[in-house]
Amino acid sequence: MSSGSTAAHRQGDLHIVLCTCPDEASAGRLARSLVERRLAACVNVLPGLRSVYRWQGAIEEQAECLLLIKSPPALWQRLTAAIREAHPYETPEIVALDAAAVDRDYLVWLSAATDGHGTE
């Protein structure tokens, strides 16, 4: 990155999408698929998560992996459809958080990695 990089306070230029998976194998497959299809520039796979949640009237607890998916908002519909199609859960977690500030160089890279769908 260039030494003149500055933070671009451009809310909404980047979605950080949270998605849990039941294990590292399914998380890795989903992460790779999203990047290969250029729906995400980068996906971090964080193993070792423990989730406690209510499902069909019962309290459940299980080990999971968390995906941190970096994608431009313009791809939201395609990204969520791809996750639903490939995800092993009946109702996968798909939650987008808008980044409050993103480095300009990172946004340029994000755009290139997703076929120009990010902010230039």
Q: Judge whether 49 lies within some domain.
A: yes
Q: What pLDDT does residue 108 have?
A: 92
Measured CA to CA, the distance from residue 48 to residue 4 in angstroms comes to: 37
- pLDDT of 70 > 90? The answer is yes
What kind and span of H or E run contains 36?
helix 24-36
52, β-bridge pairs? 61
Task: Look up the CATH number of the domain holding residue 48.
Answer: 3.30.70.120
Q: What pLDDT does residue 1 have?
A: 38
Q: Judge whether 66 lies within some domain.
A: yes
Q: Judge whether 52 lies within some domain.
A: yes
Q: What are phi and psi of 98, to 5 degrees?
A: -80, 135
Q: Judge whether 118 lies within some domain.
A: no
22: containing domain: 11-113
pLDDT digits (tens, 9 = 90+) for 45-57: 999 999 999 999 9
> Residues 90-109: what's their mean pLDDT?
94
- At residue 87's C-alpha, the angle toward residues 81 and 92, to 5°, is 80
Q: Judge whether 4 lies within some domain.
A: no
Q: How confident is the model at residue 116 (pLDDT cuts 50, 70, 90)?
A: confident
Number of domains in the chain: 1
pTM given for the model:
0.88
Q: Judge whether 54 lies within some domain.
A: yes
Q: Judge whether 88 lies within some domain.
A: yes
Measured CA to CA, the distance from residue 19 to residue 51 in angstroms comes to: 12
